[in-house]
Amino acid sequence: MTFRFKGKPPSRRQFLAGAAASTAGAISAGAARGEGDPLITEPQYWAQGFGDPVDEAPYGLPIEFESDVIRRNVDWLTADTISSVNFTPIHALDGTITPQGCAFERHHSGAIELSKPDYRLMINGLVDTPLVFSYNDLERFPRENHVYFCECAANSGMEWAGAQLNGAQFTHGMIHNMEYTGVPLKTLLQEAGLDAAGDLSDKWVYVEGADASSNGRSIPMEKALEDCLVAFKANGEALRKEHGYPVRLVVPGWEGNMWVKWLRRVKVTDGPVESREETSKYTDTMADGTSRKWTWVMDAKSVVTSPSPQSPITHGKGPLVISGLAWSGRGAITRVDVTKDGGKTWQTARLAKPGEKRALTRFYLDTEWDGEEMLLQSRAMDDTGYVQPTKDQLREVRGLNSVYHNNGIQTWLINSDGKAENVEVS
Amino acid sequence: MSKSRNRVLSAALIASCFAGPALAESFGLGRPATPDEIAAWDLDVSPDGTGLPEGEGDVWTGEELFEQHCAVCHGDFAEGVDNWPKLAGGFNTLDRQDPVKTVGSYWPYLSTAWDYINRSMPFGNAQTLTADEVYAMVAYILYSNGLVDDDFVLSRDNFLDVEMPNADGFFVDDRPETEYGIFTGEPCMENCKENVEITMHARILDVTPDEGGE
């Protein structure tokens, strides 16, 4: 006879409690006993009955044991969740590809519902023929696949004045890394014709979204033609609503605000529009009160994702995998160094794969923990020769009021219990 | 308005973007946009006033509209409520800790305010204002910042006459000149510091969100 479990199976915690009780002598009915781990010596329900049939979840979510691996926001950061941000749980992920379902969100007027039949993309301005594309039109152009990170310029922005938030998710989680499928923006611009624009070296494109914020940004033509992608798939499937379904712009290596979601218009212009998002926001104020503008590229950066405050060491001394992420908007990561003593001595970490241009790189330091306190840091280098600076080095140039583009070295204090805290060191 | 970029683009690079057979290739996809379609979406306004429609609005009309549509978030005097943006004040704070960045103290171009209000405000009810109403609201924000008198009327004709206090407060990204040289080179691996002191703990501030009983 076969049977299926109905309803929720016992949780792991209940199960371990039961196992402990049985070790103490309360032998469960019908179970074989032997020396050793009851999870091994006793038949388990998952080894006797059936699991879920197919179609139990036509589109699956992670198993319940992973229910804490979710996006989280920081209430006090913004006035309202309609115009706000949340954070990727990078402390709990591995590899480099970010699942869409937990990839950070940033909306300026909420995530809108825009269907493919209702979608239109206009190319106008200094083009030979202003054009309108439907979603289906976009799928008929030759398309490309590329993996790129998308980092909000404000990632780590709360840490400018000092250590604030206890968790890699909160200090570094305004980032995700996906494989995009889409059409090069260059292809669409050429379809509309750029003869009317004349000399392209001083031209720009202005890109805007279909949501109420429009979130318009000006991008130099050089970048528009180099590698910008009009993307409609991420990690093999349609973009999620919160990431701009059905079409978003991908601006590799440049700040996430420029990756306009629900992309509805690309206008060729002879100058920047200087929209709200490129003047009042996403500009970097220096100590003397003047501000940098057009700070588009995301410089090389890294963070140890584990151990970290949300991912403490629970196994005591012995073999320890220190792991983290590194990336550069200017190129590929070539090397990541890790220190356990706050920067006195560094070791070069192992890259899981050679760094890829403008994409996340996973690094590991396979080490032994002696159970003593550690001050963990990582330091990224990219193929331009750039070395990730300390926070103090950045502050020396920029002061404390920059908000954006904080790519300084992060420190985790790991205490002898394996717990971690966000600290700064001299 | 500056139409040139500080970093001069390589003519060769631009040319190379268009070299090869892709240049001539057309897929015949999409359709021409109609003039009305372009007019409906092509609303952006540039610093030189390009894109501004005909119209005008005065400070007092703007005040009424502001109270009705904006004050719930931005305050009656554009001073901001809770975490919502302050639109007025903040002068002489940009070089201090926690600068107050408002339309008056920070925004370099008035066109940005007109453009943003026209396309994206009021929050949750965007693109419902007439051009005259937008002119009036911008006039009121200027008045709230002490930049115009109470009898001021803003229009397309005098738009560029308004001087924005922080117009010269911005410079183009200079990281290549000011940072990349310093942050390059073979980094130290051994004996990099004599002592390491912890200078700050996040738990002192304790602003991390609760993770729900973990």
- The CB density around residue B90, as the number of other CB atoms within 10 Å, is 21
* Residue of A108, A195, A201 to mutate, interface with B, max B Cβ within 10 Å: A201
CA nearest neighbour of B101 among B113, B119, B115? B113
Q: For residue A396, what are the contacts with CB-CB under 8 A and spacing of at least 6?
A: none
In this prediction, residue A74 carries a pLDDT of 87
The contacts of residue A71 (CB under 8 Å, 6+ apart) are A86, A87, A88, A89, A102, A103, A104, A105
Residues 222-241 of A with CB under 8 A from B: 222, 225-226
In this model, does residue A88 exceed pLDDT 70?
A: yes
What's the mean per-residue pLDDT of chain B?
88
The DSSP secondary-structure symbol of A263 reads E
**Residue of B8, B183, B201 with shortest CB distance to A393:** B183
Nearest to A190 by CA among A245, A120, A273, A266: A266
- Flag if A72 and B82 touch (Cβ within 8 Å): no
Q: What is the ipTM metric for this complex?
A: 0.89
Stretch B3-15: mean pLDDT: 44
Residue A332: closest CA among A312, A297, A360, A313: A360
Question: Mutate which of B16, B74, B100, B170 to disrupt the A interface (most A C-beta within 10 Å)?
Answer: B170
Please check the confidence at residue A7 and state whether its pLDDT lies above 90. Answer: no
Q: What is the pLDDT of residue A233?
A: 98
Residues with Cβ within 8 Å of B110's Cβ and at least 6 positions away in sequence, in order, are: B138, B142, B159, B162, B164
- Is residue A4's pLDDT more than 70? no
Q: Is B42 on the interface with A (CB under 8 A)?
A: yes
A-chain residues near B123 (CB < 8 A): 82-83, 109, 212
Would you state the pLDDT for residue A81?
A: 87
**pLDDT at site B211:** 58
Residue A19 has pLDDT above 80, yes or no: no
Interface of A with B in 64-123 (CB under 8 A): 68, 72-76, 78-80, 82-83, 108-109, 122-123
Q: In this model, does residue A296 exceed pLDDT 70?
A: yes
Interface check for A296 against chain B (CB to CB < 8 A): the answer is: yes
Q: Which of B88 and B204 is assigned the larger pLDDT? A: B88
Res. B93: pLDDT tops 90: yes
Q: pLDDT at residue B21 above 70?
A: no
Q: What is the pLDDT confidence band of residue A82, given thresholds at 50, 70 and 90?
A: confident
Residue of A139, A225, A273, A409 to mutate when probing chain B, most B C-beta within 10 A? A273
B140 touches chain A (CB under 8 A): no
Q: Do B212 and A68 touch (CB under 8 A)?
A: yes
- How far apart, in whole angstroms, are the C-alpha atoms of residue A154 and residue A407? 10
Q: Is B120 on the interface with A (CB under 8 A)?
A: yes
Of the partner residues B109, B169, B196, the one whose CB lies closest to the CB of residue A343: B196
Q: Is the pLDDT of residue A375 over 80?
A: yes
Least confident of A2-16, A42-56, A218-232, A277-291: A2-16
Q: Which pLDDT belongs to residue A79?
A: 81
A121: region left, alpha or beta (phi > 0 left; psi from -120 to 50 alpha):
beta
Closest by Cβ to A164, choosing from B45, B95, B202: B202
Cα B34-A204-B44 angle, rounded to 5 deg:
50
Which residues in chain B are closer than 8 Å to A228, comparing Cβ atoms?
none
Domains and CATH numbers, chain A: 12-51 (no CATH), 78-292 (3.90.420.10), 301-423 (2.60.40.650)
Given an 8 Å threshold on Cβ–Cβ distance, is A164 in contact with B205? yes
Q: Is A387 helix (H, G, I), strand (E, B) or coil?
A: strand
| A279 closest CB neighbour out of B97, B108, B124 | B108
Residue in B41, B95, B126 nearest the CB of A265: B41
The pLDDT score that the predictor gives to residue A420 is: 97
Task: Say if the Cβ atoms of A124 and B29 lie within 8 Å.
Answer: no
| pLDDT at residue A33, as a whole number | 65
pLDDT band at B92 (very low <50, low <70, confident <90, very high): very high
Structure pTM? 0.90
Q: Using one digit for the tens of pLDDT, what is the confidence trace for A118-127?
A: 999 999 999 9
Structure tokens at B109: 């171009």
If pLDDT is split at 50, 70 and 90, which confidence band does B202 have?
Answer: confident
Min Cα distance B144 → chain A (Å) is 17
d(CA A113, CA A80): 19
* pLDDT of A23 strictly over 50: no
CB-CB: which of B13, B32, B109 is closest to A274? B109
CB pairs under 8 A between A and B: 291
DSSP letter at A136 equals: H
- Decide if A343 contacts A425 (C-beta within 8 A): yes
User: What's the pLDDT score for residue B25?
Assistant: 72
Return the pLDDT at B213. 39
- Distance between CA atoms of residues A97 and A365, nearest Å: 20
Nearest to B17 by CA among A186, A282, A161: A186
* CA distance linking residue B121 with residue B113, whole number of Å: 10
For residue range A311-362, what is the model confidence (pLDDT) as tens digits?
Answer: 999 999 999 999 999 999 999 999 999 999 999 999 999 999 999 999 999 9
Q: How far apart are CA A143 and CA A71, in angstroms?
A: 30
Tell me which fold the domain B53-167 belongs to.
Answer: Cytochrome Bc1 Complex; Chain D, domain 2 (1.10.760)
Q: Token pair 């004996």 is at which residue?
A: B191
**Chain B residues lying within 8 Å of A269, measured CB to CB:** 46
Q: Which of A206-220, A225-239, B7-21, B34-48 has the lowest mean pLDDT?
A: B7-21
Residues in A closer than 8 angstroms to B205, CB to CB, are: 162-164
CB contact under 8 A, B124 and A212: yes
Q: Give the least confident one: A264-273, B28-37, B195-204.
A: B195-204
Cβ distance A129 to B200 less than 8 Å, yes or no, reads: no
Best of B31, B189, B207 to disrupt the A interface (most A CBs within 10 Å) is B207
Q: Is the model's pLDDT at A161 over the cut of 60? A: yes
The C-alpha angle A224, A227, A232, rounded to 5 degrees, equals 95
Residues shown for chain B: 214
Distance CA A214, CA B127 (A): 11
- Position A11 confidence tier, pLDDT thresholds 50, 70, 90: low
Q: What is the mean pLDDT of residues A296-317?
A: 97
